[in-house]
Amino acid sequence: MAYETLIVEIEDYIALIRLNRPDALNALNSKLLSELAVALGEADKDDSVRCIVITGSEKAFAAGADIKEMSEKSFVEMFGEDFFARESDAIMRTRKPIIAAVSGYALGGGCELAMACDFIIASDTAKFGQPEINLGVVAGIGGTQRLTRFVGKSKSMDMHLTGRFMDAAEAERSGLVSRVVPAKDLLTEAKKAAAKIAEKSMLTSMAVKECVNRSYETTLREGILFERRVFHALFATEDQKEGMAAFLEKRQPQFRDR
Residue 19: strand pairing partners: 6
Task: Tell me which amino acid residue 193 is.
Answer: A
CA neighbor of 104 nearest in space, from 192, 29, 22? 22
The 167-196 contact track toward ligand CO8, x by CB under 6 A, reads ------------------------------
Residue from the set 19, 50, 66, 177 that interacts with ligand CO8 by CB under 6 A: 66
Active site residue 62: no
Active site residue 87: no
Structure letter (DSSP) for residue 58: S
Part of the chain binding ligand CO8 (CB under 6 A), chosen from 42-50, 134-142, 149-157, 195-203:
134-142
Rule CB under 6 A: say whether 116 interacts with ligand CO8: no
CA neighbor of 180 nearest in space, from 106, 256, 252? 106
- The answer to whether the beta carbons of residues 154 and 184 sit under 8 Å apart is no
Residue from the set 98, 108, 151, 180 that interacts with ligand CO8 by CB under 6 A: 108
Q: How far apart are CA 53 and CA 181, in angstroms?
A: 15
Q: Rounded to the nearest whole angstrom, what is the least distance from the CB of residue 11 to ligand CO8 in the complex?
A: 30
Active site residue 210: no
Q: Phi and psi for 111 in degrees, rounded to 5?
A: -65, -40
CB-based contacts of 36: which residues, under 8 Å, 6+ apart?
Answer: 6, 17, 19, 54, 87, 90, 91
Q: Rounded to the nearest whole angstrom, what is the least distance from the CB of residue 151 to ligand CO8 in the complex?
A: 18
Rule CB under 6 A: say whether 142 interacts with ligand CO8: no
Q: Rounded to the nearest whole angstrom, what is the least distance from the CB of residue 106 to ligand CO8 in the complex?
A: 10
Rule CB under 6 A: say whether 25 interacts with ligand CO8: yes
Structure letter (DSSP) for residue 140: -
Question: Which of these is catalytic: 35, 101, 104, 112?
Answer: 112
Interface residues with ligand CO8 (CB under 6 A)?
24-25, 27, 63-68, 83-84, 105, 107-109, 131-132, 135, 139-141
